[in-house]
Every structure is written in C-alpha cells, then in structure tokens.
Structure 1
C-alpha cells in the first residue's frame, strides 16, 4: 500500500496516510476541521530486492586480460 501525502489549503497542515490505491482520497483536515485537504504529488519510494541490483553481483570472479593491439603494418624489404 502506498503512503499518500496531504496538505490543507486552509491552514497548511501536512500529513501522510497509508491507504489502498482504491481508497477515496481524504478531504477533511484533522487540524482545522475543514474540507480543504488535497493530495500532494510526491516521488514514489521503492525498494530493490533480490540479486542483480548491486555492483558486486555483476563483477567477474577472475581478472580480465587486456588484448594488445596487433601490428597491422606489413614490412616491405627493398631488393
């Protein structure tokens, strides 16, 4: 269930409420008892669970070998 943030347009009181997505938004301010409570738009929080999310999960166990550039020039000898 997401946590929604609300702010009263009348008194400026802010609160957070854990609600189902299907629940109706709150309208009554608990601080001033008006119906001026509106839902704020805020960033969603998320949790990275399981494997594959950390740098150590992708590192190779062995060292990488660097390939040396090959010499593509052909040597010509004069006769």
Structure 2
C-alpha cells in the first residue's frame, strides 16, 4: 500500500497515512480538527541506484544473473572481443574402406 502525505490548510500540520488507493482521504486534521486537509505531492524518500536491474537478486550462487538493463541476451552493452573458434579436429586416416569389426 502506498504512503500518502497530507497537510492541513488551517494549521499547517503535515502527516502521513498508509492507505489503499481506493480509500477516501482524511478530511479532518488530527491536530486542530478543521476539515481543511489536502493531499500533498511529494518525492519518494528512496533512490534506486546501481548499474542495472537484475531478473532476481536472490538466485543461488551457481545460477547466472541476467542484467535487465543490458538487454534480454544478458550481453554487456559494450561489445567485447569474441574468443577465436577452436580448430577442427584432424580427420582419421582411412584404411582403404575395409572394416575389421
């Protein structure tokens, strides 16, 4: 549930209230009793910072975390040098097509 901030226009008293969005706002000031309470617009009291959002920060140590800011592939935003492909194994010499099995 969201926390809303209210202020009485008569006495200036500010207070917060935890309520559902569908709940009615308080109309009477808890300090002076006047029916002149209004909802205030205020900034949230927390800040989200960091390099990005992860799919979950509570995965086990062996699980791979996927950074949602970097995209759905999980690849970093800056291109990294790709490793060279491994050479193909050499073909075994043929024995003339005859099988000894």
Per the normalisation by structure 2, the TM-score is 0.47
Q: Distance in 2 between the 1:17 and 1:6 partners?
A: 8
Deviations 1:28-77 (A, max 9, x none): 1001011011001123567767353688xx675xxx33xxxxxxxxxxxx
**Higher relative contact order structure (alpha carbons within 8 Å, sequence separation ≥ 6):** 1
Change (3 A) 1:45 1:21: farther
Q: Distance in 2 between the 1:53 and 1:31 partners?
A: 47
Q: What is aligned with 2:91?
A: none
- Uncovered stretches (5+) of structure 2, i.e. residues with no partner: 58-66, 82-101
The structure with the larger Rg is 2
More helix by share: 1
Q: What is aligned with 1:28?
A: 28
RMSD of aligned C-alpha atoms? 3.3
- Uncovered stretches (5+) of structure 1, i.e. residues with no partner: 66-79
1:5 CA drift (Å): 0.3
Per the normalisation by structure 1, the TM-score is 0.59
